Structure 1
């Protein structure tokens, strides 16, 4: 898994957030009916994306299908959410890219800055309200929920956040303050322990105690360090955990959502308001919300946003956790989280890392 698009510095986030709002983008010349749009997409001949590499959430499978169906070519440049939108803004009418994928907190930013174009797929009404902009500027194609990945060698494996305090194993959390996944695990713990976006202190206190016990690792779990035996308990997105478990071996690691609660977030396609190929950009979004498009995400261990409305083949269903594990996981409030995430790096440094 590339880490580039899942990592952002607080400086980058802050600097992008204060870019002045753009004037509205010119109305793109795209077809009205879907059949006309498909024909126009074929004529456009190519699609250029940002942050949509083949090895992330099985976007490779999506691109293979789309290229075959519409006889187009595809190129991607992997980068972070903030970098993607900054590129849209910098190029404007000289746009090189047509579509990008950003974390949920960046969807409203793209809209506010006039960088995104709206498009509602045919399955629009089935997408949960929390997971979409009312006008179709952004919508999650799949979700990520913070989970535990635990070595089967661990005695009394933790099922809850509170359990983490009782063990003698190391807990790998990654680079809190910079990595989006690591920031999200702090929010997940806060939610489970009675806090939330506006009160991260319960989670800060939890990890400070683990740091005092000399059991906190500031590396993130990945197949490489899991293979080496360096990871006993890792905290990562469910789709990363499931993928890593399968790569390293189901006989070596287990994955579950902590039963007290967790946070659900996700990623949204953003159609460049200045795209020179507006039809293929919209067709891409349409495709990923079809049943096959959603199945493709599940093949990449990403939980489809329409999972309650589609039928996953048995062999693909094994790539996602049972629905009951998500009972106490709740969606992120992206507006509140955007502000909280800016402060987290300082809090973590002062109250957690200082205890190591």
Structure 2
């Protein structure tokens, strides 16, 4: 999904937040995976151990580095997460931006010589990561405050933030911004959703269209039919959905996560962009952290997840327009005021049948190629 948008600043002290979450020397923060064939000394040392948060923190400091994939500075304000980890713990960071599918493939391909520690994937890809055996579990100290639907029972993945598919329109190019999927069908502009073969955002946009016309996780056909109609009118844009392409006028209308849309608008520093949640229906989805089973810096990865699910980490993500997964976190007024009005979400609903969605999402790329791309040649 070559991805990502947004940035502001996080100020609360991480140590006090993590302490408030209840982690002490006498309590364990989570579970540590057995890194199987990993040749990483740090991973081997921690195999079969259960560590306290203080122990994880100390080991993370010693590792001194965390390498992420698909978590660049400009997506959901990750920049300030990395800044906090550096400031508080001396943990340096590097990232390679890539799609959910590419992240999992990297973990698997590099298991004998791993380079990455942690990734951020769409929920449709969490089961793939578990099935391939490339993740290790870790339950942060805020585990009980995370909704059941948003976490793997064993801690193999945990949703950090949620998003809802929105319509983003360049009003310099489209004078009557669509407010619904039906409006889009009646328009004369091109619509972009990104790389359907690889991106969770693009696949979820198809699900949102399906829901708008009576479909669901088990029945994606109405969504495919919607885009097939647009493709026959030559109204599908294959441009990547990113700030530069909006700025160049290559993207007129896009279906993207609400936090990405708000972030793009913020970066563009322009009021010439309209952002709305589709009237008929939309999908609420989440992005989850996965920790590489073979991570060269496993404790730094765990501390990163710990921070993401802390109060400060959740507020930090919201500063990047991503709605926190923890409902108990109160957002500062200045942060909450930048979100899309809550009444627009009345017809948005979360994915409920994850098993069905897992099966459906795997079938989408071929359906897209056979029913949509074929009409664009």
Is the structural similarity TM-score above 0.5? yes
Under a length normalisation based on structure 2, what TM-score does the superposition of the two structures give? Answer: 0.80
Q: Cα deviations across residues 31-87 of structure 1 (Å, max 9, x unaligned)?
A: 632223222222222222222222222111101101111122222233333333333
Residue 341 to residue 227, structure 1, CA distance change in 2 (3 Å): same
Residues 181 and 209, structure 2, Cα contact 8 Å, conserved in 1: yes
Q: Give the CA deviation at 1:98.
A: 2.4
Of the three residues 63, 66, 76, the one matched with 1:47 is 66
Q: Give the CA deviation at 1:250.
A: 4.6
- 1:11-160 aligned within 5 A: 28=47, 32-92=51-111, 94-152=113-171, 154-160=174-180
Q: Give the CA deviation at 1:294.
A: 0.9
CA distance in 2, matches of 1:90, 1:174: 25
**Residue 324 of structure 1 corresponds to which residue in structure 2?**
343
**Residue 2 of structure 2 corresponds to which residue in structure 1?**
3
Q: Give the CA deviation at 1:178.
A: 4.4
Residues 2 and 97, structure 2, Cα contact 8 Å, conserved in 1: no
Q: Give the CA deviation at 1:220.
A: 4.1
**Residue 217 of structure 1 corresponds to which residue in structure 2?**
237
Residue 94 to residue 31, structure 1, CA distance change in 2 (3 Å): farther
Q: Give the CA deviation at 1:277.
A: 3.2
Partner-residue secondary structure (3-state), 1:101: strand
Q: Cα deviations across residues 244-293 of structure 1 (Å, max 9, x unaligned)?
A: 22233452111111121111222211122233433222111111111111
CA distance in 1, matches of 2:179, 2:134: 42
Q: Cα deviations across residues 155-195 of structure 1 (Å, max 9, x unaligned)?
A: 54322212222233333333444443222211111022111
Unmatched runs of 5 consecutive residues or more in structure 2 = 6-34, 39-43
CA distance in 2, matches of 1:131, 1:348: 28
Partner-residue secondary structure (3-state), 2:216: coil
Of the three residues 176, 194, 208, the one matched with 2:228 is 208
Partner-residue secondary structure (3-state), 2:359: helix
Of the three residues 311, 331, 349, the one matched with 2:330 is 311
**Residue 19 of structure 1 corresponds to which residue in structure 2?**
none
Q: State yes or no: 1:242 paired with 2:241.
A: no
CA distance in 1, matches of 2:355, 2:299: 30
Partner-residue secondary structure (3-state), 1:168: coil
**Residue 161 of structure 1 corresponds to which residue in structure 2?**
181
CA distance in 1, matches of 2:325, 2:357: 20
Q: State yes or no: 1:196 paired with 2:216.
A: yes
| Alpha-carbon RMSD | 2.8
Unmatched runs of 5 consecutive residues or more in structure 1 = 7-21
Q: Give the CA deviation at 1:130.
A: 1.2
Number of residue pairs the alignment of both structures matches: 339
Residues 298 and 319, structure 1, Cα contact 8 Å, conserved in 2: no
